[in-house]
Amino acid sequence: MFKIAVLISGGGTDMQSIIDGIKSGYIKNCSIEAVISDNPNAYGIERAKNEGIATYVVDRKSKLESVSDQILKIIDGKVDLIVLAGFLSILSGDIIEKYNNKIVNIHPSLIPAFCGPGMYGMNVHKKALEYGVKVSGCTVHFVDSGTDTGPIIIQKSVPVYDNDTTEDLQQRILIEEHKALPEAIKYLADGRVKVTGRKVEILEEL
């Protein structure tokens, strides 16, 4: 069984897409062992509890120990993959080394556009509209010691229209996020992802 931990900060819709993918059989031989939130008020916690998934809160406002170290204590040696699904804290330190190419994130733009420090949530869509891009989308990538700098696994694009609001663009991209994240986890659970430097290859099914 391919075991994953999902990290969230808000409503958990990206996490729900993973749950639905597992329940439907689209993602095979995979289980969510833990859902960890850095926000005690995140609705995604309730989503996880409703599915009988173990939940943990690592409050990002606590100064006792870094969020990354607290998360590592919870999941170390217990999961094969860590999935950042709308997780706002930046992971750093030992967890990055121990889970090299075993942490993935979903970002609401086509990296390397509109990414890096401060680029999260509506900030991303606001910048995309201000820049006047004609296409945006989402990226599933591995997490490394930088911010949104790891190798890219999957990207999905959407058109940007002249009359779009940030909410319009967010919702259009969210639909693709809910496809891209389960797809990436499916490939990883099936052992079909090969990483060579920055290049990620999706191998054919056996």
Q: Any idea which residues carry the catalytic annotation?
A: 107
CB atoms within 10 A of CB 51: 15
d(CA 21, CA 155): 18
Beta-strand pair 193-196/152-159: unpaired
* Displacement of CA 193 from its chain's centroid (Å): 16
Report CA dihedral (64, 12, 30, 181) to the nearest 10 degrees.
Answer: -110
CB 17 within 8 A of CB 156: no
CB 19 within 8 A of CB 47: yes
